[in-house]
Structure 1
Amino acid sequence: MELRDLALLRELDERGSLGAVARATRVTPSAVSQRIRLLERSLGLPLTEPVGRGVRLTEAGRLLAAGAIEVAAVVAQVEARLAAFRGGIGGSIDIAVLPSAGVVLLPSLIAALGDGIEVRVHDHDVAEADYAALTRDHDLVIGHRMAPTPLPGWRGLRVVDLLREPIDIALPLSHPLAAAASVRPADLAGQRWIGVPEGYPFDDVRIAIEQAAAASFSIVQRVRDNRLVEALVAAGLGIGMLPRFSTQRGGGIALVPLSGLPTGRTVSALARSDVAERAVVRHVLEVLERCAAAIVEADAVEA
């Protein structure tokens, strides 16, 4: 029984098809199938069973897939101890990041890591539930959620909450409320709104504001990119919502806190539990936490 074969079972369990496993491991589906059949023969147990046009793991297969995670975590821990013995942590790390969270954290993270660690960044703007799937193909994922606790789909992953970022109302500087210390939902009733696509977390906040104000917004645009929201608000085309730390100051908009409703997002780092034990990933997580703490502290001083 080899770790690489157990890893194939783990990938099949998480990815759901031989084709997906083949793409992830850069081999052919027939090669994946052959390795699993050889393992079945050596153990004398069926590890997969047909379902529709594909296959899924049997109970024995799922047992071994879970074991693959445990073994990989132990190997990563031993390698981390060896790296500490050698007196230095180096290598490379693949990070998938929500752009608006990357704006806040990546500059200080990469600067703090220096030249000893190569950081490969991949930007992804996905729904909250999809950050977990990104951990299959990246060492570390930086995403966000609106709820105070991790999503059910994040179970089984290492989740490190880095910071809680307030979500403010974005107003053009010419707006009568731009100089207000805060605004209430009722103050925003009937306004033209620059929103995000339905189903995105910020849209849930918009719905909560409408319910609290007992009035709807006139939604003039729905865009994903926060920079587009900034530009459209600055042009006076409507108001919107933007995260405080990652929004550039100036630029023709004012950020005003919303009172009467809980707003904010938690920016988190996610990793597969075994991957999180790797020396370089553990180190980057520690540095990320320090960078996030400095950002929160600076905001508190500014306030």
Structure 2
Amino acid sequence: MVIDPKHLELLRLFDEYGSVTAVADVTHRSPSAVSQQLRQAGSEIGHALVEPAGRGLTLTAAGRLLAHGGRDVARTLARVQAQWEGHLGEAVGEITLAGLPSALTHLLPDALRRLREDHPHIDLRMDDVDLAEHEFAGLTRDVDIVVAHSLVAERPLGTDGLTVVPLAREPIDVALAIGHPLADRAELTPDDIVDCRWVGVPRGYPFDTILTSIEHLTGRDLDVVQRIRDNRLIEAIVASSDQVALLPRFTTPRDAGLSLVPLTGVTTTRWIVAVMRPDTAERVAVRAVISALSRVDDAAV
């Protein structure tokens, strides 16, 4: 019996996305069509590949084995595609990229200029997302390059088994209104700011680890009055109040009515990295985009 590669791909997708509805969404098919194809795959192979689980379906042991094989096939096809592109020596095609806005603001302007000059046949399609650190890895199922960040390590949480390439390092400073009593300081320590009222980020977001470190070092809880994702909104709140926040040094506007003061005594430098599936990372066009994004060796960083 020869196994149809289309069945392997379907099982791979079902294993990765976890439901018939999710597979239907990403493959632009109806849930009933996906269910029918799963049944057809099991019938042709001669083994049950899915079984009921609550109100949905889950893979059987046979289904999981073939889903793993589907991943191997996908990686092999992508590797052959990358080798073929390398043979042709061409960086062409559509590349999808998603990442957090503050990092993309820092990296994209120069990257787009470099790509326009050196690789005009790459079509870069972008989306901005702001997620908890461990959530970025999941985007690699649908996106070629995910720009993520971490203050803990070069490899963000949840990226085991994925290719991670450092792009830049950026200090995170304490942001205060220009008229704040601490705004003219050359640097600040955790003891200096432990009594401040804070605008934080949602728990699980990398910047929150700095606030946690301040609490551990001082032995006191911070007064986090609100938790907000959008840096522009945080800037506006800080500039017009006595509240303080943590903001990236390179992408916070200099005319926003803020003073950015370095914080000592805790780790405040974030790694900005590209996260990709290993097979995707081998594509010539993807490597060209990564090279254009990279600012690791930039003296300004």
Q: TM (normalized to structure 2)?
A: 0.90
Bigger Cα displacement from structure 2, 213-222 vs 254-263: 213-222
Helix, strand or coil at the partner of 2:166: strand
Deviation at residue 107 of structure 1 after TM alignment: 1.4
Match of 2:265 in 1: 260
Query: 1:205-257: CA deviations, max 9, x gaps?
Result: 21321332344443343321111222222224321111122222342212111
- Residues 254 and 30 from structure 1, CA distance in 2 versus in 1: closer, same or farther, beyond 3 angstroms? same
Q: Give the match for residue 123 of structure 1.
A: 128
Deviations 1:80-131 (A, max 9, x none): 2222333321111111111111111111222211131111111111111211
By how many angstroms is 1:15 displaced?
0.8
Is the CA contact (8 Å cut-off) linking 2:98 and 2:129 kept in structure 1?
yes
Partner in structure 2 of residue 79 of structure 1: 81
User: What does residue 45 of structure 2 align with?
Assistant: 43
**Aligned runs of 1:222-241 on 2, under 5 Å?**
222-241=227-246
Which residue pairs with 2:206 in the alignment?
A: 201
Q: 1:253 to 1:105 in 2, by over 3 A?
A: same
1:221 is matched with 226
Question: Which shows bigger deviation, 51-60 or 31-40?
Answer: 31-40
Instruction: Evaluate the alpha carbon distance shift between residue 67 and residue 279 of structure 1 in structure 2; reply closer, same or farther with a 3 A threshold.
Output: farther
CA distance, structure 2, for counterparts of residue 210 and residue 177 of structure 1 = 19
1:152, CA displacement in angstroms?
A: 5.0
Q: Deviations over 1:113-155 (max 9, x none)?
A: 1131111111111111211221222121111122215355222
- Match of 1:297, SS state, is coil
Distance 1:38 1:216 in 2: 58
Tell me how far apart the structure 1 counterparts of residues 270 and 296 of structure 2 sit (CA, whole Å): 15
Aligned residue among 145, 148, 168 for 1:163:
168
Q: RMSD of the TM alignment (CA)? A: 2.0
Q: Secondary structure at the match of 1:85?
A: helix
Q: Assess if the C-alpha contact under 8 Å between 1:95 and 1:138 holds in 2.
A: yes
Q: Say if 1:190 and 1:216, in contact at 8 Å, map to a contact too.
A: no
Deviations 1:161-203 (A, max 9, x none): 2223221111222233323221111111311222223343322
Q: Does 1:293 align with 2:274?
A: no
Question: Once structures 1 and 2 are overlaid, which stretch shifts more, 89-98 or 65-74?
Answer: 65-74
Residue type of the alignment partner of 1:12: F
Match for 1:139 among 137, 141, 144? Answer: 144
Identity across matched positions, percent: 46
- What's 1:22 paired with? 24
**Hey, what does 1:173 align to over in structure 2?**
178
The number of aligned residues is 296
Name structure 2 gaps, 5 residues minimum: none
Q: Counting helix residues as a fraction of each chain, which structure ranks higher?
A: 1
Residue in 2 aligned with 1:110? 112
Question: 4+ runs of 1 displaced by more than 6 Å?
Answer: none
Residue 165 to residue 72, structure 1, CA distance change in 2 (3 Å): same
Structure 1: gaps (5+ residues): none
